[in-house]
Structure 1
Amino acid sequence: MKKTLHKKILIIDDVSENINVLRHMLDKHGYELFMAKDGLKGIEIAKNIQPDLILLDIMMPIIDGYETCTKLKKDKNLKDIPVIFLSALTNIEDKVKAFEVGGIDYIPKPFNEQEVIIRVKAHLQTNIIITSLNNLLEKSFHEIYTPLSVIQTGIEMQTLEYGPSEYMDSIKAAMINLNVVSDDIYYAIKKEISPFDPRWLELDLFIEKQIKYFKPLAKTKYITFSFDNEIENPMIYINDVELKRLLLNVLSNAIKYASPNTIIKIKIKNRNDKIVFSISNQGRIIKNKDEIFKNLFQEDSNHFGLGIGLDIVAQVCKKNKIEVKVKSVNNFTKFSFIYKEEK
């Protein structure tokens, strides 16, 4: 008796013979199969059935496999469905392009049944593992954020009832540090399976919000902020989560290594039609400027943190084509970020 796996596979190929060959190979393994003879119809079917895997031909009329895959990956409801390309094309350029547009594998024609089955099973299993890890990640961080929210509410109520105190400020500062680290871990894992699509953000308002968030932490060292914006309505095209990770990590480091009773200066200015925003502090200098953006690097292991924050900053800058410069001399450290909109 045929074992039913209840996994849905969508085959998109304009040649009926290819569809029949694949259907014969896969049907005996109990997969639920769906077929389309062009990319647009395939996308329509994918929206309706949410397949677990898509087998996609490259050379097709109307739109080819590359464009079909590109459209799939741009759809928030379809982007995580694994796509295996099928093609008689053997040029390395064709294979590279298949991966560049979002494919996870490439099966050459004519088909070898054993190879097809092994690859299909492997990618379905991998997708199950990724989905399970993603669900576990979401649930795990929910278990972290819920008590943190309770603690924050408790601090606010305690402060309202009894007024501010040094003890409450210390608890609030510790909670902020824990939030930054947990959010970094979440992003470091999530970025591997989520695109974090960009949108237009008002940089000055975004920075002001992060400064406000860090004031309780800065207060424990009697540190204040100054913010100077020389650009009217500075806009930056970036994902809000990624910009937040960039700013929070640099600001938290600025507070961590700043001397007490000093000022952290944040500036936005125009330089040669580029938006430049910088964060500077007075205190310990950075001895290893060439090492700080490496994963897990910690210049001082005595400070709280995992050494992933500035690595995340570097990744965000690279992805969004933001140039970053670090200057650290005479007890002053400055991080500058140079952004230019791509026309």
Structure 2
Amino acid sequence: MDNKYKILVIDNDKDSVNLIKEYLTDVDFELFIDYTGLKAIEIAKIIDLDLILMNNVLPKTDVYEICKRIKSNDLFASLPIIFIISEQELFDKSYSYSIGVSDYILKPIEKQELIKKITTYITISSLKKQLNQKNKHYNEDNYKQTHDLMRANEYLKSINRELIEKTIQLKHTESRILNAIIQTQEEERTRFAKDIHDGIGPILSIVKNNIEWLNSPNTHTDKEFILNTSLESINIALKTLKEISNNLSPHILENIGLISALNTFIENIIVKEKIKINLENNLTNRLSKDFEINLYRILIECLNNSLKYSKADKININIIKNRQDLLIEYYDNGIGFDYKVKTFNKGMGLINIENRVKVMKGKIIIKTSHGKGFYLSIII
């Protein structure tokens, strides 16, 4: 029963209704009867109708108004309506078509014509429903695809923005690295010139004066004393040159290794500065040459910064080798600094340290703030 096409018959003529029932008995239709037309809308809301057969003249009922009400409802807009014409002179064909009537049948009703027109318009209506359903699915799919494309487009835009930002950051980082390299080179040249001027210059001046005294015919100074003094000055100059050379390129690392080189540097500091420096390590073997140079430069940078700026009186350095990692910890109890502010305007020292850690594929952690010292850890 549920698979049958559902037809609402609106006609006050019971003989006509019975005739329609007789004609459609053997056809796959289910009929619903309304003798007044007053219940047409309510029936249509309850039952999923496929077609309406309606007498064009009903007592006390405006059939055109019923048609307009049915067609004005979106649920029934495509529902076929066929008029049964009992009084042709009252049938306004043009107006009927304009308000949505699909077709008409003249009385007396012929069976074949009735079945043919009902079948034709139900088929057309069914095809329209299928088309509307496909359009609905298409629109839904199209909306979803459009929405997905919009989301994908927004995602691509966000990725593009991130790429632009990262490119800008990379260029800024490259610029800072280049500036760090240039500044470091200039600082090294300045320090080298100062070491030569302050360390070697006075010693060579002494030797020069001693030689001039020896050549002077009026000198009464003991020549042996002058020669010994000159020789001592030359030895000091050679030692000073060796120290300067080690600062430029720590050849001491190749000879005695990282720990001994650091201890030598620390001993030279302790002689000049009132500061306690404690170096602890558990290394049993030498590290690779590149690792030793980078770690030496990093720790020397930290020590120099602590001596220049921190006002610390205690420094602890730990170098611990585990099965998988190498841990380097550096701490001074100095005045510290605001690292959040420093992050936006990093000094060349910090940049150099970070770049060396990156070269070793390590991770760096820096903790510091005003009055709380400086802590650095590196895991490689």
The alignment's TM-score, normalised by the length of structure 1, stands at 0.44
- Flag the structure with higher strand content: 1
Q: Determine which structure has more spread, i.e. the larger CA radius of gyration.
A: 2
Flag the structure with more relative contact order, 1 or 2, with Cα contacts below 8 A and sequence separation at least 6.
1
